[in-house]
Amino acid sequence: MSSALEQIIAQSNIAFGTSGARGLVSDFTDQACAAFAQSFVSVMQRSFSFKRIAIGIDNRPSSSQMAAACAGVLESMGYSVDYYGVLPTPALAYQAMQDKVPAIMVTGSHIPFDRNGLKFYRPDGEISKEDEQAILTVSDELVRSVSALPATSSVASDNYIQRYLDIYPMQMLAGKRIGIYEHSSAGRDLYKTVFTKLGAEVTSLERTNTFVPIDTEAVTEADQQKGLDWSKQYGFDAIFSTDGDGDRPLIADEKGQWLRGDIVGLLCAKALGVKSLAVPVSCNTAIEQAGIFSKVIRTKIGSPYVIAAFAELSGSVAGFEANGGFLLGSDVNLSGQILRALPTRDALLPGLALLALAGEQPLSRLTEALPQRYTASDRLQQVPTQWSKDFLAKAALSPKELLEQLGQGARQIQRLDQTDGLRIQFVDGDIVHLRPSGNAPELRCYAESTGQAAAQELVQVILNAVKGLLN
């Protein structure tokens, strides 16, 4: 069997999605992981000079072995590996950018337990879609190696904590009661430190050694109820959590209501004084209606597309996604302190920024002051990606037929948008957006309406109709 990198990768069943290379744990063999790591570094060598590579992992049981395979091949290539153990993805990215070295994060983020992934960072930030294609086509032979992990360093986690303690005033959160839904988040060991040092009274909630695939775009009914119950039990001012690798926030207000990620992003950008935004097409239209931002660019879904759009913006620049992950595209000045750019999804910054913006007000006041546009989203799992693509391609050609199939035949279409999937805006202002997930065999549905219940109902009606067509 060929040991050429491109052949190993092509035969691995692992593919790049909206954020990194994803696949089944069983597909991430030592050989496949080593091939991806070697190919990534080979591509980085074309543009950068470096002698070290940073590696971090999430709390999935499979992540440490995958990291060992990556570290082993990199050391066989003559590089030193800075191994930072379990930490949030943005903490690894931030440290790598400061050190001007490439980085590999072993994480499947929010996707199901039987899957995992690899995220790659250039010395100057996330890899591009062009970098992804280059990684897939390196023809070098795989270097012989033995899987092994170096000693774990806490430097990246420590510096990530200090990044925010340097910006926000001590005792900013004095008198605040904050719950941290820890589950299996990669950042659970440092979030309590940050909130406590800023003066909050912190309560840890539901820490577990069993991996929990939290999806901040599709919060389960069980987690929605937990937020309500915890708020009543503890009287929290806010509840903070993240997805598995700590790059997507999950934030609840004082009522225990989880805030939508794009609303979190909007408020975070407002708190930071950002004026130019890049956001995916799936985000809430309250972003434009709020009148806060001088320019908003809509992109395909995925952080590489958001980052690519930064080149078209000027001044204070940021981006965020419907999942709440916030990307700071430029340095910003906060009360005389400079917060350095971090152009990758971050969960901790939005949590702190919203609490700083609220001040003595409850968090719910922030959302009440925005244009009242409500979004909801959910997904159908185990939907073959090709089926979704074929279904949406046909639907774009015959949108009226699609509406009939979805039980929406009486509605009038105002605009179709195929930036990413199929997004339909109706004359009455409602929006339905269908797209295949870039990370798993899932079909996602986003809806926007004038009320939360209406948006949620629209999502369920559409997904139930699609389920019938699929069956």
The residues assigned a catalytic role are: 109
* Cα 131 → chain centroid: 19
Q: List Cβ neighbours of 158 (8 Å cut-off, separation of 6 or more).
A: none
Query: In terms of C-beta density within 10 A (0-12 exposed, 13-18 middle, 19 or more buried), how is residue 1 classed?
Result: exposed
Closest CA to 118 of 248, 8, 29: 29
Report d(CA 134, CA 42) in Å as an integer: 9
Q: Three-class SS string for the chain?
A: CCCEHHHHHHCCCCEECCCCEEEEHHHCCHHHHHHHHHHHHHHHHCCCCCCEEEEEECCCCCHHHHHHHHHHHHHHCCCEEEEEEECCHHHHHHHHHHHCCCEEEECCCCCCCCEEEEEEEECCEECCHHHHHHHCCCCCECCCCCCCCCCECCHHHHHHHHHHHCCCCCCCCCCCEEEEEEECCCCHHHHHHHHHHCCCEEEEEEECCCCCCCCCCCCCHHHHHHHHHHHHHHCCCEEEEECCCCCCEEEECCCCCECCHHHHHHHHHHHHCCCEEEEECCCCCHHHHCCCCCEEEEECCCHHHHHHHHHHCCCCEEEECCCCCEEECCCEEECCEEECCEEEEECHHHHHHHHHHHCCCCHHHHHHCCCCCEEEEEEEECCCHHHHHHHHHHHHHCHHHHHHHCCCCCCCEEEEECCCCEEEEECCCCEEEEEECCCCCEEEEEEEECCHHHHHHHHHHHHHHHHHHHC
